Amino acid sequence: MEIISINPATKETIGSVQTTSLEFIETVFDRAKEGAAEWANLRLTQRSRKIRLVRKMLVAHMDELSKLIAAETGKTNWDGFLEVFTTVEHMRHVSKHGPQYLRTEIRSPGILQNKKCYVNYVPHGVAGVISPWNYPLILTAAPVIEALMAGNAVVLKPSELTPLTGKLMTELFHEAGIPENVLQTVYGYGEIGAAIVDSPKTDMICFTGSVEVGRKIAVACAEKLKPVILELGGKDPMIILEDANLQRAAGAAVWGGFSNCGQTCISTERVYVVEKIADEFIELVKTKTEALYTGPDKVDGEIGALVSESQHEIVMAHINQAVESGADVVSGGESLSALGGYFIKPTVLEVQVDNTDIMQKETFGPEICIMRVKDEVDAVEKANSSGYGLSASVFTKNKKRGQKIARQIRAGSVCVNDVITNYITADLPFGGVGISGIGRVHGAEGLKSFCQTQAVLVDRFGLKKEPWWYPVNKKLQSFFRVFTRVFYG
């Protein structure tokens, strides 16, 4: 059976891959177990050098990768390039700092100075990585690289909507020197992903995708007590305070809401602007939005296509429901499917109620909803009203005020006077709270998520017995009681 890859901007066939049979999956897992044993024996610096070679290989093929990403997803060539850029920056960081983050850490033995204590970061074994379609390179390569740096073998399943990017990435990894049994890629639909999750031969799972599928994976892993990282959806709020730089804030809203056609888990979907400056801000957003070109021109265009017909229908349904519920259309709002692909004109809505799908559910399309608020207290309350908690942003000229508000927002990441850039910053951990997921990728925390934390204690002097071993005489018991009163009291 073949998976056909379609260009969403033209609806033309790009290519295809053969699906992996469920019968063959067991062979894949067996090979992965063998690969994991060999790979884990490499020193951290050896793994780092191999990852550096992979990075150089991707840079050498960046034009090919950028164009393929753009073709499979419908995004522009510039968006495709930015994905390659972000990927190689993460690889640079992991190869440079991975050995430092994962080296053995000496810990204090406390009062037991006759002991030596330390922590090892030990690979789980075989990591199952299930990646999405919206960023088919970075959201695939980043967890794969972190799993490899930590010493795991990887069984990867790319999205069925973007299999060719996953295939090319895997080929480049192998060409750069990653053994074929250390990174294996399988292709298919939900049943292949379920096989990766359910197999007793995968030791951990990293999934990026929808809340609905993430819940099922969480339950399956919980039953097996299998470690899992879930990077799920977002409904990210942006707060614009009365003292914000409005030109920068409006530009950030337009970039954060429309980049990759809004198909970004940390896309700006809800904007809360203080009433005092709302009119000026909304007018700036309107002007910047209407200057954007949407369509099949991948070279000079800014906004590409949605990934599929079903995604196009979801976004239009959210927009139409919001308008029916009283939202004012500031700009856009109509389908541009007459251009030949799954296009929607970038849409800015001013909303008065927050109980519609477009304010409660992840829309994942080129839309921004703006709501007026009384003050920062009102803004924070509304920002925290969603079950999602992936990312957020705050705009104010007072940076201390912005950072104070950031601590009040229920989100895994917060940008002050910026948007989305936290994802490009490879040393920052990334992940959500609430229904946006569990666990972290990126940074030291992300690398350690792909490891077991092993605590080791070593006796230094080799005495015949410890003071508390049997038999314990009465004088020693009395000494410990006195010592506890004096030392801890």
Say which CATH number the domain at 371 has.
3.40.309.10
Residue 448's pLDDT is 98
d(CA 217, CA 124): 18
Among candidate residues 206, 221, 261, 265, the one labeled active-site is: 265
Q: Is the same domain home to 297 and 224? A: no
> In which order are the strands placed within the sheet that holds 391-395?
328-331, 347-350, 367-373, 268-274, 236-240, 391-395, 413-416
Please report the pLDDT score of residue 16 as a whole number: 98
If asked whether residues 227 and 245 sit together in one domain, one would say no
Task: Give the range of the structural domain holding residue 82, as residue numbers without chain letter.
Answer: 2-232+440-452
Closest by CA position to 432, among listed 394, 402, 381, 387: 387
Note down pLDDT in tens along the chain; length 489 residues.
899 999 999 999 999 999 999 999 999 999 999 999 999 999 999 999 999 999 999 999 999 999 999 999 999 999 999 999 999 999 999 999 999 999 999 999 999 999 999 999 999 999 999 999 999 999 999 999 999 999 999 999 999 999 999 999 999 999 999 999 999 999 999 999 999 999 999 999 999 999 999 999 999 999 999 999 999 999 999 999 999 999 999 999 999 999 999 999 999 999 999 999 999 999 999 999 999 999 999 999 999 999 999 999 999 999 999 999 999 999 999 999 999 999 999 999 999 999 999 999 999 999 999 999 999 999 999 999 999 999 999 999 999 999 999 999 999 999 999 999 999 999 999 999 999 999 999 999 999 999 999 999 999 999 999 999 999 999 999 999 999 999 999
Q: Is residue 357 part of a domain?
A: yes
> Would you say residue 468 lies in a domain?
no
- Ramachandran angles phi, psi of 25, nearest 5°: -55, -40
**Closest listed residue to residue 274, CA positions, set 394, 359, 188:** 394
Statement to judge: residues 36 and 149 lie in one domain: yes
Q: Both 281 and 358 in a single domain?
A: yes
If asked whether residues 94 and 193 sit together in one domain, one would say yes
Clarify whether 231 is annotated catalytic.
Answer: yes
DSSP H helical segments within 104-160, as ranges?
138-149
The answer to whether residue 145 sits within a structural domain is: yes
Parallel, antiparallel, or unpaired for β 115-123 and 126-130? unpaired
Q: How many domains does the chain have?
A: 2
Residue 339 lies in a domain: yes
Is 477 contained in some domain? no
SS3 string, 1-21, reads CEEEEEECCCCEEEEEEECCC
Q: Is residue 411 part of a domain?
A: yes
What pTM was estimated for this model as a whole? 0.97
Question: Does residue 466 sit within a domain?
Answer: no
Whether residue 290 sits in one domain with residue 223: no
Q: What is the CATH number of the domain that holds 205?
A: 3.40.605.10
Distance CA 450, CA 40 (A): 12
Same domain, 172 and 288: no
**479 falls within a domain:** no
What local confidence, expressed as pLDDT, does residue 2 receive?
96
Active site residue 261: no
Say if residue 197 is in the same domain as residue 310: no
- Pair 261, 201 in one domain: no
- The reply to whether 141 and 254 lie within a common domain is no
For residues 104 and 156, state if they share a domain.
yes
The single residue of 72, 146, 231, 269 carrying the catalytic annotation is 231
Question: Do residues 273 and 335 share a domain?
Answer: yes
Q: How many angstroms separate the Cα of 364 from the Cα of each of 102, 204, 264, 265, 333?
A: 35, 28, 7, 7, 14
